[in-house]
Structure 1
Amino acid sequence: MKNEHSNAFQLDLFESLPNKPYCTDELGVTVIRSKKIAIKKKYIQVNRPLTDLYLVFDLDYAYSALAWSDLNLPSPTWVSKNPVNGHCHIAYSLQAGVCTSSMARLAPLKYLAAIQSAYTQKLKADRSYARLLTKNPLHDAWQTTWWADEKYTLDYLADFVDLTGHPLKGKECHGLGRNCELFENVAHWAYREIRKYWSPDYESKWKEAVLSHTEALNAQFIDPLPYSEVKSISKSIANYVIRHFSPERFRESQAKKGSKGGKVSKGGGRPSLNEPWKELGISRATYFRKKKADLL
């Protein structure tokens, strides 16, 4: 138990908060306030809008304050317990924040999502926990114990669980797994669709189409992501695809392919034989089957 270091923890938590966190004294009536006001509320947003600095789990059952110890999981940064029913929020502080809204940073997000999913399963935490608000560990409504004085790397946290099958897929996915699911599915769709929108001043229509598709996929989750996260994911994918699949880049790619094709022929043009199976008197399928078997 690290209660003797709580002052340092409190300062670190305060410094890491969003500039204007969501907060409330009554669930269902959420407001945005400055740090100085928000830190006095019973519930508070500890992760920044586009970056996760903490993994927080909602243990919605009695005698859960030491569940992490019983399951041989690492010591959480803090545990905030409801003194009436014994339900807890436990939080792990991350050594480096993980961006939850960047298409270009999907790998660390998938890693964090897998860890979150595996811990949720092992702790029997609430899968529908929205992640936005947590029991404010600095509020006297909760019995808070500060446990760990270090911040954890993802590799260290991953060593305590089996990540096989995590994060969950499809309708059952939860937490950050939903972000990953949307990123991957919408991006796959976007790569195929972008050329349909190429025209003068196409970007605004393209971004609207990506947002609409992202919203439709998000609605299929049992617990959909809030609109703010859907909009952020959509914007990241739309901009990423515009940068990497623009008409200019496509023309450059086609030109390079044409240049390489011309070099195959000694005459500098196209290869003289485009359908070699006809010269051999066999079908196209037979030609490729024999070629694969090294019979030609």
Structure 2
Amino acid sequence: MNDPESNVVRFLAVDCDHENWDMLPGSMPKPRWTPITRDSQRHHVIWELASPVIIGENARRKPLALLAAVQMALTYHLNGDVNFTNTLMKNPWHQEWSTIFYPDARPVDLHEFDDWLLPRGFYTKAANSNIKPSPHGYSRNVDLFDHVRHWSYQNWTGDWAEVYGIAHDFNGMFSVPLPSKEVDATAKSVCRFMEEDYTGTPKPVLRQRTRDTKVAAILDAEASIRASGQRPTNAMIAAITGIPRRTVTNILNTL
């Protein structure tokens, strides 16, 4: 469902290697569907996101961190496979699966899972430490970014290759490493920040964005999304540019 060549996460799935497909807690937001292997009863529980999340070079930290936290929580509560990468999912319409479709399901906002999130510190945090990384799924993206940026705050010399090396070395410590493309995108994002915005503090100097710069950013994001084979939505453009979705809507309505 999620194109591995794209940096947009539209569906969030939990891979369950057990037969308890009917144990979904009643108060949990309803998934779109649950495809089940007939003989083993192994299954995927799949939610559609109301606001797709961008990963890779243009990822915003807070949405990605929330996506990782929700993925960890759902995997824990449903006893899912922590090594599942959320890219290859069972096709719900394939004749080999028995699929449950939830008629009252709808695209969900990640904040609807707030009551299900795990306590802070439930998983070992590896950023800026010598502890071997334990996170899985999108938590790898978050921990990789944190580790590389913290390292760069202390050691930045302007050498991009050095940052890329740190990123790939850290990625190699995961039990299931991220694809090289995602590691490169993270390293590139950190290098660009260090080169263009770093002022001796992790917080960049805030720059007033004029309407013209916002229009240019919106059009660039729209073109980038189309180039990845996706149909751009205002939520996706907002996620890439950091411009509020209402502002994106207002600007596009006037172009």
Kindly report which structure 2 residues correspond to 1:61-140, keeping only aligned pairs within 5 A, or say none: 61-62=18-19, 64-69=20-25, 72-102=27-57, 105-140=60-95
Q: Residue 218 of structure 2 corresponds to which residue in structure 1? A: none
Q: CA deviation at 1:102?
A: 4.3
- Structure number, greater radius of gyration: 1
Q: Which amino acid aligns with 1:126?
A: D
- Match of residue 240, structure 1, among 175, 189, 193: 193
Q: CA deviation at 1:73?
A: 2.3
Structure 2 residue 121 is matched with structure 1 residue 165? yes
Which whole-Å CA distance do the structure 2 matches of 1:102 and 1:167 have between them? Answer: 25
CA contact (8 A) 2:13 2:45 kept: yes
Deviation at 1:239, TM superposition (A): 1.6
**Paired residues of 2:2 and 2:11 also in contact (CA < 8 A):** no
Query: Which one of the candidate residues 123, 140, 153 is aligned to 1:178?
Result: 140
* Corresponding letter in the other structure for 1:156: E
Shift of 1:128: 0.9
Larger % of helix: which? 1
Cα–Cα, structure 1 residues 167 and 78, in superposed 2: closer, same or farther, change >3 Å?
farther
Q: Which has the higher contact order (CA 8 A, sep 6+)?
A: 2
Alignment partner, residue 142 of structure 1: 97
Q: Is the 8 A contact 2:17 2:43 kept in 1?
A: yes
Aligned pair in 2 of structure 1 residues 116, 141: CA closer, same or farther (>3 Å)?
Answer: same
Shift of 1:65: 1.8
Change over 3 Å in CA distance of 1:67–1:102 after alignment to 2: farther
Displacement of 1:49:
2.2
Verify: 1:230 aligned to 2:183, yes or no: yes
The Cα shift of 1:48 comes to: 6.5
Gaps of 5+ in 1: 1-43, 198-205, 247-252, 254-296
The answer (yes or no) to whether the contact 1:94–1:153 under 8 Å persists in 2 is yes
- Once the two structures are overlaid, the 10-residue window that deviates more, 114-123 or 164-173, is 164-173
**Structure 1 partner of 2:166:** 213
CA distance in 1, matches of 2:93, 2:8: 22
Alpha-carbon distance, 1:163 to partner: 4.3
The whole-number CA distance in structure 2 between the counterparts of 1:142 and 1:164 is 37
- The answer on whether the counterparts of 1:46 and 1:54 sit within 8 Å (CA) in structure 2 is no
Q: TM-score, normalised by structure 1?
A: 0.60
> How far did residue 100 of structure 1 move?
1.6
Deviation at 1:103, TM superposition (A): 6.5
Partner of 2:9: 52
Residue equivalent to 2:234: none
Q: Which residue, out of 122, 133, 150, partners 1:188? A: 150
Calculate the aligned-residue CA RMSD, in Å. 2.4
Question: Could you say what secondary structure the match of 2:24 adopts?
Answer: helix
Q: Which stretches of structure 1, 4 residues or longer, exceed 6 Å deviation after superposition?
A: none
- Listed one character per residue, the Cα deviations across residues 15-67 of structure 1 (whole Å, up to 9, x for unaligned) are xxxxxxxxxxxxxxxxxxxxxxxxxxxxx5457621211111100112x3222
Question: Residues 59-110 of structure 1, C-alpha deviation per residue, up to 9 Å, x if partnerless?
Answer: 0112x3222236x422211101111110001111111011122466101111
CA contact under 8 A between 1:113 and 1:176: conserved in structure 2?
yes
State the Cα distance separating 1:167 from its structure 2 match: 5.8
2:111 alignment partner in structure 1: 155
Letter in 2 for 1:138: W
Query: 5+ residue gaps in structure 2?
Result: 127-132, 200-204, 206-255
